[in-house]
Amino acid sequence: MATNKKSDVWQGTLALMVLKTLEAMGPLHGYGMARRIEQTSGDRLVVNYGTLYPALLKLEQEGYISSEWGVSENNRKAKYYKLTRAGRKQVGREAQEWEQTISILAEFLTPGEQPR
């Protein structure tokens, strides 16, 4: 049965989604980033701004992204975020960690004999 229910972004995945989005798209403002993450998910995820902006602040404090004020497409003042050199390295590390996590979870979700 198909469902149109959107899910919130999963805990712990938003940072990687932000970093990967900036890696693919270049500098973006928060609204554009949220829309791109939702679009990339096939509109199955919804990005909550109360979650996005604290994540952006944390990534900036960790040195993985930087920000500067600019003007958006509709002539409004907007803060644009971009990857730093450390952020580019972090994308690879986080992606590898998530691939390992997915692999481990797949072992639990795969039907069949479980190790004893």
The CATH number that domain 7-109 falls under is 1.10.10.10
* pLDDT higher at 11 or 33: 33
Q: Where are the domains of the chain?
A: 7-109
**Predicted pLDDT at 1:** 43
pLDDT band at 6 (very low <50, low <70, confident <90, very high): confident
**Cβ proximity of 22 and 56 under 8 Å:** no
- Percent of the chain past pLDDT 90, that is, above it, reads 71
pLDDT tens digits for range 45-97: 999 889 999 999 999 999 999 999 999 889 999 999 999 999 999 999 988 99
The Cα–Cα gap between 102 and 94 comes to 12
Other beta carbons less than 10 A from residue 83's beta carbon = 22
Which residues, in sequence order, are CB contacts of 29 under 8 Å at separation 6+?
A: 70, 72, 78, 79, 80, 81
Give the chain's mean pLDDT: 89
**Which stretches within the chain are classed as H helix?**
14-25, 30-40, 49-61, 85-109
